[in-house]
Amino acid sequence: PLLGFGTGFLTEEAKISTLTALKSGYRLFDTAVAYETEEAIAEAIAISEVPRDEIVIVDKIHPKDFYTSGATIQSVQQSLEKLKVNYIDVMLLHATDCEEEGGRLSCNGMEKTSSRTWEDAWRELEITVDQGKVRSIGVSNFEVSDLQRLWEIAHHKPSVVQNLFDPFIQDLEVRLFCKEHGIVYMGYSTLGRSWADIGLTYNPVLNNSVLANIAARYDASVAQVVLRWAMWENVVVVPRSSNFKHIALNFAAQYTPLNARDVDVIRELQGQIDEDEIAAAIEKTYSKTEGNAEIIDNPSIVVEREVNVEQDVVLYFGSDDYWIYALDGSNGSLLWKHQTADETGSVCMTNGSAVYCGADDTYLRAFHANNGSLIWKFRVGGAITSSVRMSESGNLYFGCLDNHIYCVNSSGVLIWETSIGSAVWATPALASGGRLVFIGGLVDEPDTGMVYALDGETGEIIWSSPIGGIFASAAVDERRNIVVFCTVQSTCHGIRMDNGEQLWELEVQSEVYASPSIHRETGMVYVVCLQGTFYALDIKTGNIYWKKSVFIPEIRSSPLVLDDGRIFLATGGGMVLHMNSKNGDVIWSKNIDDSEIFSSPKLATNGLLYVGTIRGEMVALNATTGNVVWSYKTDGPVVATVRINAPHVDYIATRQQFNE
C-alpha cells in the first residue's frame, strides 16, 4: 500500500495508536529497533485480530549492530520475537552510519573501534532473506552514491529505500535512481516533522500558504493534501500520530481529489523555503487571539467503507456538529462523513453518483456519493438552510439567507441567481422538470410577504402573489395545475401554477413551519400547524376533509404521505406517529426524543422509517410496528431530513415533491 502508519516518536501511545490505525484501515506499519515500538505493534495486531497476511511490517536495523559480527542477524531475530511474527516483510538498514552522541541512532562510540561498515551489515541481512526470516530488504537515509555502491555489492537487490521526503525536500535524485532500478521509494517526515529536529518551532509544511490554498478548495487539511500528493508521486508515506482523529483523517487522504495542476504547483515547492514567510507565520502563531481562531480544525473526511450506490441503502444527512454523514440504512453503521465549517440543516440531494449539500458556512458542496470526497463547492452570500432540489436536466436549485435563490449546474457553475428581497428558508418547489420554480421568503408581516413562480432556465419572475411569509416548501400538483403555499401568518393558499391566480385561501389554527404534502391520486393536501392541528384539505377548493389535534406542539416536521394511504408525522415532544390518511386516526406512536423534531420522516424499501432528533440521533424505526431498530449518535442536533439513495426510496415517483 502507498499509505501506512508510522510509529516513530510514539512511546506510551504506540499500542493504542497502532490499534486505532488498524481499525481505521491501515495495513502497513513502519517501526525500527530505535523506535522501541515493536512490542506495542505486536500487542495491537493481536487485539485487532487482523490476519497477519494482510499486514505489511517495515522494520529497521540500528547502526550499532553494524559493527559486531552476527549482530545484524541477531537483531532480526530479536525483532521477530518482539513482533511475535515468523517473518518481517521489509527490513531496512536504518542509516549508513551512527549519529552523533545523544541521537536515537548513536552507537556510543562502537563505530570507532570496528572496521566493519554498513556493507557488512547488508551481507548479514541477505542471510536473513535466505533463512526466510525477512522477505525483502532495503535501506534508509542513503544518498545516490551509497545506493550505487549497494547496487554493486548486493546479492539480494534492495527493494525499498526510505528517506526524508516532504514538499520542500523532494529527494529528486534518489527517487530517480529508485525509479530506474525498480526500487520502491518510501518517504518519512512527509508532514514536516523533521523541521523540529533542527530546532525550528514552526512547521513550514503544515503552515505553507500554497498548500493551504489547495486544501481549502477541497475541504481537506494541508496534511491530507501533502499525503495525497506524495501518493500521486508514487511515494509510500507513513504518517504517525497519537491523535485518534488525525489517524483517521490521514487515512482518508487517499480520497482527496487533487489534479495534475495541483501536483505541478506542489512540485514547484522543492527547495522553496521562504524565510520571511516562516518568520511571519511564527509571529502569527504567537499573536493569534481567540477571536481570530480558525472556524474549523482539520476540515476533512472520514471513510469507513466505500458505498455501493446500487446495492447499499444509504442515508445522507447533515448534523449541527458540522459533519455531513453517509450511513448504512440497514444497520446504522458509518460509511463516510465530511466536515464543513458550520451547522448543516439543509437537506442534501443525490443523483446516485454525487451528493449535494448546503451548510450554514455559505457553501453548497458536491461530494462523491461513494466516499464523501469533495468534487466542488460553490459559495454564496449567506447560510444555506434551504434544501437542494434537482431538475430533470441535473441543475440544482436552492435558497439562501442572503435573500437569493440560486441555480447552478451539476459542475457547480452558476446559471442564475434571483433576489426576492427576503431571507429564503424555504426549499424551491419544482414543476415541469425544473422549468418552473416556486419560492417565497420569510417575513413577519403578511402584507410584505410574496411568493413567486420563476423561470427555471433564466430565474426571471413569471408571477408573484402577496400572501405572506413562508418558511417551508410549497407542494406542487402538476396534474391539477395547483401549487399550495402555507404561511407563518397562519394561512394556506391554493394558486394556479401557470398564472398565479389564487383559487382559495384558508385560515388555519396557527403558523405553518412544515411543508404541505399531497396524495397524488386523490389530490388531498395534508397540512400540519406549529401548534398541533393536522388538516386534510381538498386541493381544488381548500375545503377541510378532516382535522385532528396531534396534541404535542410544536410541529416543524412535514408529513410523509404515501400512495397506499399511510401517513408518518414527527411532532413535538419527540413523538413519531403512523396515521390513517382517510380520517387522521393514529395507528401507532413512538417517542424517540424529549423535544420537538425538525427532521421529516423518510421511508426506504427495506421497511425502515428514518427520523433525526434534536439530541443528535438518526433513528430507524420499523414502519409497521414503530419499534426502534437502530440509532446512530452524532455530536449535534439533526434537524435535516435524511436523503435516501434513489433505488431504495419507497415513496418517490416522477414529479412527486419531497416532504421536507
Among all residues, which ones are annotated catalytic? 35
Query: Apex CA 472: angle with CA 467 and CA 473, to 5°?
Result: 85
Pair 94, 140: CB distance under 8 Å: yes
Q: For the residues of 337-381, what is the DSSP string, one character each?
A: EEE-SS---SPPEE-SSEEEEE-TTSEEEEEETTT--EEEEEE-S
Is 486:526 a contact under the CB 8 Å cutoff?
Answer: no
* CA dihedral for 447, 448, 453, 455, sign (positive or negative): positive
Eight-class DSSP state of 650 = S
The closest alpha carbon to 443, from 423, 463, 472, 419, belongs to 423
Strand partners, 162: 140, 186
The CA-based diameter of the chain, rounded to the nearest angstrom, is 103
Alpha carbon separation from 304 to 25, 227, 251, 596 (Å, rounded):
8, 18, 10, 31
Q: Which residues of 185-202 are buried (b: 16+ CB within 10 A; e: fewer)?
A: bbbbbbbbbbbeeeeeeb
Show contacts of 243-250: CB within 8 Å, 24+ apart. Answer: 244/17, 244/20, 245/298, 246/298, 247/5, 247/17, 247/20, 247/21, 247/24, 247/26, 248/20, 248/24, 248/302, 249/221, 249/223, 249/224, 249/298, 249/300, 249/301, 249/302, 250/3, 250/223, 250/224
- Residue 325 backbone dihedrals phi, psi, to 5 degrees: -115, 150
* β-sheet bridge partners, residue 534: 528, 548
